[in-house]
Amino acid sequence: MKRSGMFVALHRPVGRWRARQRERAILRECGCVAYCPGCRDPLNDRSEWWPNTGDGRGKYKCDKCGRVSEWHFGIAPGPILLTPNVCLERTGKPDA
């Protein structure tokens, strides 16, 4: 099915607007946004959360790509990613 020019022209800006609205809602509710290291989708609202002990650590499972990442919320104003380097997991080479 071929898309019309108007649909194509509006699809990307509308998608960006929806993503910004979702991030703003997360910021209002949680105070920070944690993004999946694999697909860059926000984790705070739709993903599964497994808290560890009581020190502010926990794991998110991304709803979009299924990647599990470990985060620490107790030592900084924002979340800190604790899992290994994503580029190293994908390609075997460290980030440049």
Instruction: List pLDDT tens digits, range 56-90.
Output: 888 889 888 888 888 888 877 788 888 765 544 45
Helix (H, G, I), strand (E, B) or coil at 27: helix
Tokens of 84: 């290994």
pTM score of the predicted model: 0.69
At 6 the pLDDT is 67
* pLDDT at residue 21 in the model: 93
pLDDT of 47: 81
* Residue percentage of the chain with pLDDT more than 90: 7
Domain range annotation of the chain? 5-91
